[in-house]
Structure 1
């Protein structure tokens, strides 16, 4: 049974889980959401269990949703800011992973802005935690991957459009005037291609995705029946069923690191595309039945016009809520034997 097989399993990226395993998360997440809205008593699947949530960088929704998820299932989440530990003073990750494995039942790690680490280093650190921990390690977002967000987003797509296969899902680069990693961009491209949507990433040439992500997406659509395309033309928004406007950093910056490229130089490239913003005119090009998504925070009137993000097509609050249920399911499946 897939549910039983997930006990103790690490989640670094959705690409490393089978479709059946991802489906198990979505099935349980939807059931838990149904139970919560129907007023049923939620099962205490994580009673007397502790989840250590280690944060190297800031969070608005991730911390709140993980803590709420543990509480609703009868467990406890312990927030640990990395700067308050000895980790940033040189303590070995293997020691922390081993000790926390003795104290609790799961470890979450949120790590990796380009200001702090060289590209790829955060994923290496996550895998080091996973290697030495004897409890499941959950990626709560790093600079490359954001699996909990990916599962949330496909759950939201399925809710809003049950016949989602072959629907057009647009990931649009949008100006924000700040430097952001492509973790949620990568993850949405990966999961939407796993589930057979027609995914198109629209971005200025300097902001192309990592070739390994592109290759994964091409492989995914061969198996799922969807399609994957890269475009540099905003006109390709036409007919979209879903759109996700968000900024991310240049390929050069990802390859060489922010420390090498320089923040000023990077932002100068971004500023060339200030007109890349989701406007009502662009939304009007979409399918009549279409939705606007965003992982948040939204940089309003930069990435997208304020009235667009507050329009009836916007489902960003529903999307954010679903983080709670997908994370409840991930925690329950990886940490509970019930």
Structure 2
């Protein structure tokens, strides 16, 4: 009897030890890439990439990961599939997973990815939903470890919208055992049930200065995510006190790092001086999407 496939819908789908091993493997795969070592574990493997939300880093990193490791990827937008014309997710999942080796989905409703995984015969990867962005967290943790060593016991400050990235940081705090201080305005705070579930690792306030004080890592995201463009003017007013600028960074530890999942709006959620400054590791963070996702694909596609 065939075993049920492993999926990566949230960070909770892997154990703490599996996540640590995966990050270590990502660092190894990065070193191999820099040493020009040929490594093709995905030969004859095909990844289907379903995009209902556009992307730069997610598409390029997954497609490149498959290509560099000997496999291939198929890009599917709503216009390219019957999903865009109302075919039930269950039907698409059954058909697509009979033809490819893995499916990556970037969409709005988190329930779509969960439903797809329920009916798929191959691993399904959440490449972003309105609720979570676990692939980005793999890259973020890898980046921290490369620059500063273990993140266990460190203080991470999340400043701004309590969005899908914030939700993934909440779960990461539990899985990687760090302290997460969130500062978000009232009405834009993260899911209350999630905060309550992981309260041992998470603190919530409306004060950016309080969250950032003595932090080892400061991270933020855009004030209006995809699908929220009409709210931009209102959000810009509400979030104005939440810009990560030089003064705010000065409250963190001197060796603190700054991260942003990109794309960034300089002069809004972060000042140009911070994102382009010496504490910023956003370019390493972006590149590490490639390496951490190679490790993830290797883990999920392992025979």
Structure 2 length-normalised TM: 0.92
Distance 1:163 1:9 in 2: 26
Asked if 1:8 corresponds to 2:5, the answer is: yes
Distance 1:198 1:126 in 2: 29
For the 8 Å contact 2:222–2:265, the answer to whether it is kept is no
Asked if 1:277 corresponds to 2:252, the answer is: no
Asked if 1:325 corresponds to 2:291, the answer is: yes
Distance 1:35 1:335 in 2: 19
Q: CA deviation at 1:263?
A: 4.4
Aligned to 2:101, which of 83, 95, 105?
A: 105
Aligned to 2:70, which of 30, 50, 74?
A: 74
Asked if 1:242 corresponds to 2:217, the answer is: yes
Asked if 1:209 corresponds to 2:206, the answer is: no
**Runs of 5+ consecutive residues of structure 1 not aligned to the other structure:** 1-5, 113-121, 175-180, 222-226, 251-256
**Runs of 5+ consecutive residues of structure 2 not aligned to the other structure:** none
Distance 1:313 1:37 in 2: 24
What does residue range 1-338 of structure 1 map to in structure 2 within 5 Å? 8-42=5-39, 44-112=40-108, 122-173=109-160, 182-218=163-199, 221=200, 227-236=201-210, 237-247=212-222, 263=230, 267-268=233-234, 270-337=236-303
For the 8 Å contact 2:11–2:175, the answer to whether it is kept is no
| Helix, strand or coil at the partner of 1:308 | helix
Of 53-62 and 84-93, deviating more is: 84-93
Q: CA deviation at 1:59?
A: 0.3
Distance 1:213 1:157 in 2: 24
Q: CA deviation at 1:332?
A: 1.2
Instruction: Output the aligned Cα RMSD.
Output: 2.2
For the 8 Å contact 1:182–1:249, the answer to whether it is kept is no
| Helix, strand or coil at the partner of 1:77 | strand
For the 8 Å contact 2:102–2:301, the answer to whether it is kept is yes
Q: CA deviation at 1:217?
A: 2.2
Change (3 A) 1:249 1:189: farther
| Helix, strand or coil at the partner of 2:181 | strand
Change (3 A) 1:7 1:293: farther
CA offsets 1:45-72 (integer angstroms, 9 cap, x no match): 1101000000011001000000000011
Of 316-325 and 186-195, deviating more is: 186-195
| Helix, strand or coil at the partner of 2:240 | coil
For the 8 Å contact 1:168–1:242, the answer to whether it is kept is yes
For the 8 Å contact 2:48–2:104, the answer to whether it is kept is yes
Count, aligned residues: 299
Distance 1:189 1:93 in 2: 29
CA offsets 1:220-279 (integer angstroms, 9 cap, x no match): x4xxxxx321121122112111101224579xxxxxx98xxx945x85355233232111
Change (3 A) 1:269 1:155: closer
For the 8 Å contact 1:11–1:139, the answer to whether it is kept is yes
Distance 1:248 1:8 in 2: 36
CA offsets 1:58-96 (integer angstroms, 9 cap, x no match): 001000000000011110011111222221211121221
Per the alignment, residue 116 of structure 1 pairs with none
Q: CA deviation at 1:131?
A: 1.2
Distance 2:5 2:297 in 1: 10
Change (3 A) 1:269 1:68: closer
